[in-house]
Amino acid sequence: MERTLTAITRQVSPSIGRCELTHLERKPIDTARAAEQHRSYEQCLADLGVYVVSLPAEPGLPDSVFVEDAAVVLDEIAVITRPGAPSRRPETRSVAEALRPYRKLCFMEGPGCIDGGDVLRIRKTLHVGLSGRSDTDGIAEMKNLVEPFGYTVRGINVAGCLHLKSAATLVAPDTLLVNGHWVDVRDFAGMRIIEIDPAEPYAANALYVAGSVIYPAAFAATRERLEREGIRVVTVDASELAKAEGAVTCCSLVFEA
């Protein structure tokens, strides 16, 4: 059977203006514009051949567009996380239901926490950011859940940003785009590293999918670096979602199905 890429997304909540914020000051979010940007993001995934399952908005859950944090989808199972921010924990229920047709589900029970935005999978290793949202107890529970499937789980120190994937994301199978101020590149020995342009601290979050990188239009200088290294980049305007401290990986869960 041919396996295609599937992405779970969720419509922008009308209450996104009340989102969690850690490193950013609150600015008004134009919800109509955010929804329009989100539609373009979904279209971009579809144009890359990804089958998009777009869940309805959750009016009472401001951050629920950022589905990445609610689950870690592996080839064998999907781990439903226990997000670090209590306000975000109810988001997991509907994400679990959306994943149920595709994977056997495992649920984190706590006391530890992990946000999916902290989990960077490189082949059979899950690198988990020790951020304000994910902790050592969460890593211990994740280990118990995924080690039986041959995965290694390791904690990575991050500082200055929300999640590990604010600081480092894959842009090719062997290449990481990194903000070296927020994460230590020596933690990723053996990987090719592309550093962001220092004038664009938020530029390390890129979504590598189907051989291309979906990338915020705002980071032109870093985009140039990626293209110079032979990476195919497709840009999206994600400026309203960025005000909610979200970026391109956060808005989808992409997996083979």
Instruction: List, by residue number, the catalytic residues.
Output: 163, 250
Q: Does 245 participate in binding ligand CIR (rule CB under 6 A)?
A: yes
Q: Which of 74, 250, 253, 254 binds ligand CIR (CB under 6 A)?
A: 250
Q: Does 121 participate in binding ligand CIR (rule CB under 6 A)?
A: no
CA dihedral sign of residues 20, 240, 233, 3: positive
Q: Does 82 participate in binding ligand CIR (rule CB under 6 A)?
A: no
Distance CA 219, CA 215 (A): 8
DSSP lists the bridge partners of residue 106 as 79
Q: How far is the CB of 116 from ligand CIR (least distance, A)?
A: 6
Q: Nearest residue to ligand CIR, using CB?
A: 117
Instruction: Quickly count: other Cβ atoms within 10 Å of residue 90's Cβ.
Output: 14
**Residue 4 or 87 having the CB closest to ligand CIR:** 87
Helix intervals (H) in the chain: 31-47, 92-99, 136-146, 164-167, 220-228, 239-242
Residues whose CB falls within 8 Å of the CB of residue 134, separated by 6 or more in sequence, listed in order: 84, 113, 114, 115, 118, 119, 128, 163, 164
Q: Which of 63, 91, 135, 141 binds ligand CIR (CB under 6 A)?
A: 63
**Single-letter amino acid code for the residue at 85:** A
Stretch that binds ligand CIR, among 4-12, 18-26, 192-200, 213-221 (CB under 6 A): 18-26
Q: Does 155 participate in binding ligand CIR (rule CB under 6 A)?
A: no
Q: How far is the CB of 204 from ligand CIR (least distance, A)?
A: 11
Q: Does 58 participate in binding ligand CIR (rule CB under 6 A)?
A: no
CA dihedral sign of residues 170, 221, 251, 85: positive
Which spans of this chain sit near ligand CIR (rule: CB under 6 A)? 19-20, 22, 63, 66, 68-69, 85, 88, 117, 162-163, 244-247, 250
